[in-house]
Chains A and B, each alone.
Chain A
Amino acid sequence: NAGVTQTPKFRVLKTGQSMTLLCAQDMNHEYMYWYRQDPGMGLRLIHYSVGEGTTAKGEVPDGYNVSRLKKQNFLLGLESAAPSQTSVYFCASSPTQETQYFGPGTRLLVL
């Protein structure tokens, strides 16, 4: 039982490049979330999903898109990366709307 896994662990992008971050969970959770973590700002919710085929905007959705084609996977896309998107990205899943289980994070550097 791997829990929540994230791919890749670390990535460097140039401004304007695109990439997709993958989150996978093997706990059959309905809810999945993408956060970004910046120094001194805690975690801020980017997008979330309440079930397969659904997505919704969080607190800071601009510049990101997401998809939940399969229940176990939640993809976060950056179409045109900007230096302001340099951050650590965390995925989480939850069986309810409360306790969340987090992945190990993806560190992204945009030059």
Chain B
Amino acid sequence: GNSVTQMEGPVTLSEEAFLTINCTYTATGYPSLFWYVQYPGEGLQLLLKATKADDKGSNKGFEATYRKETTSFHLEKGSVQVSDSAVYFCALNNAGNMLTFGGGTRLMVKP
């Protein structure tokens, strides 16, 4: 079946630090991959996505590259801000009706 594994948090960084949140997946075929972000007290919002191997999704300074050879979709940002503090979810859709989510990684950015 499909599964998504994320690094456990919380991840605590100082403002302007470099961010990496690891995500690996297990799926047959060629899934689409997503990063969603959940700010405190809110629902999830789509941050970025990639639909085929070697695609790079990007938004708001965040990037992730679909690496089929390593079954990974790591999230990166060059310089985090306090406002990036949130929970980040990696997810996949494998040609079906459902998204499969990872467990989420909480990011805390200190001024």
Give A contacts to B, CB under 8 Å: 4, 31, 33, 40-45, 48, 50, 56, 58-59, 90, 92, 97-105
Cβ contact within 8 Å between A43 and B45: no
- Chain A neighbourhood of B102, CB < 8 A: 42
Query: Knowing A90-B43, A99-B49, A104-B43 touch, does A45 contact B98 (C-beta < 8 A)?
Result: yes
Give B contacts to A, CB under 8 Å: 4, 32, 34, 36, 41-46, 49, 51, 89, 93, 95-99, 101-104
CA distance A99 to B36 in the complex (A): 10
- Chain B neighbourhood of A101, CB < 8 A: 46
CA distance A103 to B42 in the complex (A): 8
State the 10 A-B residue pairs at the shortest beta-carbon distance, nearest first.
Answer: A102-B43, A42-B101, A102-B44, A42-B103, A43-B101, A104-B43, A103-B43, A98-B93, A42-B104, A99-B46
A14: min CB distance to chain B, Å = 26
B2: min CB distance to chain A, Å = 11
- Chain B neighbourhood of A100, CB < 8 A: 44, 46, 99
Cβ contact within 8 Å between B89 and A43: yes
CA distance A104 to B89 in the complex (A): 16
CA distance A100 to B49 in the complex (A): 11
Determine the residue in chain B with the shortest Cβ distance to A31: B97
CA distance A105 to B87 in the complex (A): 15
- Chain A neighbourhood of B51, CB < 8 A: 98
CA distance A99 to B44 in the complex (A): 11
Cβ contact within 8 Å between A97 and B93: yes
- Chain B neighbourhood of A43, CB < 8 A: 44, 89, 99, 101
- Chain A neighbourhood of B103, CB < 8 A: 40-42
Determine the residue in chain A with the shortest Cβ distance to B104: A42
Supply 7 A–B pairs (Cβ within 8 Å), ascending by A. A40-B103, A41-B103, A90-B43, A90-B44, A98-B34, A102-B45, A104-B43
B95: min CB distance to chain A, Å = 8
Query: Knowing A41-B103, A98-B49 touch, does A104 contact B42 (C-beta < 8 A)?
Result: yes
B40: min CB distance to chain A, Å = 11
